[in-house]
Structure 1
């Protein structure tokens, strides 16, 4: 088996008086036998300190990639500097939906994130390698992915967030390549049922996971987010839930990310990691 390798391309982006540093890495995935690009954003304080840092994993939406967070979000470097944690821009191969596809061995992204990328990050960077030091969030497809991975792997992630997340995939059987990952819903209904967030709430009824979920009121995912919220209330699952004016676009997500990162900063502080 090949060992994880890292090709580091370093470049610097300066935000105000401080400089968040961005590493673009190639992380080898044994599960898929290929290298996958990843962005790692470290705060200005990282190079000046020997302490270990909390980590926030960020999952892009459909058609995005690992660099979405630095190319499309103008203030992400400022926010990483402000809060003093590491942010990881995960690559989900355009349309993986971040689960292990039961029909396509080339798409094993649950295994990649949880069993390959997280250990790689902890080995290469000065991280707090525990669930108390890890959070995960994403937008759209990535919102689904962040909840999916955190629900199934609470030993890895202690907090999670969804921005405009596709939290119930069943109403969208012809959209965003989901049927390429799970098979057509008419032929493989069980794949759709067990891989949609609204059917996974039994996993988080113990309230060990800190959760924040938001969506714009004019978003096409608004209805499925409201339904998820209602089910979570009925099951007494603790979570922050926010509806704001907005659509499924970068303007909404730039604002949303500020709330999500503040939520994670509070989570890390509650665990006395900062």
Structure 2
């Protein structure tokens, strides 16, 4: 008798759990966006480049135009890195009614048009060729007011670098655990393959660093969000960038919080970036 009651309770519990799981997956299906992998031809590099494109669930039937957040991966990553480390992006695209585009930035491009390797032109690809393709293919707000760019680590540097140099393209930019000053790391992450060795190409390292590029900014030209973990090896360069922006009187949002340089940190930080951008995307 006791065995029968225990079995019955177990079966009822499993039925309730199954029902909850069913509604969870049904809810995810009803409210999640759509993920596609596309290839875009880069005329500047003469090759096809893969990108992940996430659209809201109502995108296909909607007559609206959607803002776009360009999301850049880090060193050694690729176009699929973000969707693996932050699968909630599919649901976030639907919640916030925005498109998210994750381009492949190469293993170590740092999103530069390399001054030493003419075959590496990732600034041109991301900020010109890709933006043009996305605007001509999808229902986007085809104006800077409808675009933001952010990324992690190498991609954090890349997002700020591209936004500062292409202020006519982006209205907002962010960085998560970004390597915002590359100069303290002359032998790391293959940067010297893109800029040349710092001992013989110091001018390249100075000119291609975010912390020097921001000197061209005027207050209000970009809506900026920068964050870094307290245990991150990029914390000092982020603090230095924050201090420099304050000296330049450039308004920006800066946050330090617990975390190290890993997927757990930026997999969470990206939610804040999307929400931050949502408040300004599409507005004049």
Q: How does 1:42-61 map to 2 (within 5 A)?
A: 42-61=55-74
Computed over aligned residues only, the root mean square deviation of the Cα atoms, in angstroms, reads 1.2
Q: Which runs of 4+ in 1 moved over 6 A?
A: none
Cα offset for 1:105?
1.2
Whole-Å Cα distance in 2 between the matches of residues 242 and 15 of structure 1? 31
Match of residue 50 from structure 2: 37
The equivalent residue for 2:192 is 179
- Per the alignment, residue 244 of structure 1 pairs with 257
Is the helix fraction higher in 1 or 2? Answer: 2
Indicate conservation of the 8 Å contact 1:161/1:213, yes or no.
yes
Instruction: Find the residue that maps to 2:197 and give its secondary structure.
Output: coil
**Distance apart, 1:19 and its partner CA:** 3.1
Matched with 2:240 is 227
Deviations 1:211-246 (A, max 9, x none): 000000100000000000001111110000000000
Q: Are the aligned partners of 1:32 and 1:107 in contact in 2 as well (CA < 8 Å)?
A: yes
1:199 aligns with 2:202: no
Aligned to 1:3: none
Residue 31 of structure 1 deviates from its aligned partner by 0.4
Partner of 2:112: 99
1:266 aligns with 2:279: yes
Q: Deviations over 1:74-94 (max 9, x none)?
A: 211111111000000111011
Task: Report whether the alignment pairs 1:74 with 2:92.
Answer: no
Alignment of 1:70-219 (within 5 A): 70-219=83-232
* Unaligned runs of at least 5 residues, structure 1: 1-13
1:96 and 1:22 map into 2 onto residues whose CA distance is 25
Is 1:17 aligned to 2:27, yes or no? no
CA contact (8 A) 2:219 2:249 kept: no
Number of equivalent positions: 258
| Residue aligned with 1:213, SS | strand
Contact residue 27 and residue 35 of structure 1 kept, 8 A:
yes
Which ranges in structure 2 are unaligned for 5 or more consecutive residues? Answer: 1-26
Q: Give the whole-Å Cα distance in 2 for the aligned partners of 1:232 and 1:206.
A: 9
SS at match of 2:130: helix
70-79 or 82-91, larger mean C-alpha shift: 70-79
Alignment correspondent of 2:14: none
The residue aligned with 1:253 is: 266
TM-score, normalization by structure 2: 0.89
Give, in angstroms, the shift of residue 16 of structure 1: 5.0
Scaled by the length of structure 1, the TM-score of the pair is: 0.92
Query: SS state of the match for residue 237, structure 1?
Result: coil
Given that residues 15 and 77 in structure 1 are in contact (C-alpha distance below 8 angstroms), is that contact kept between their aligned partners in structure 2?
A: no
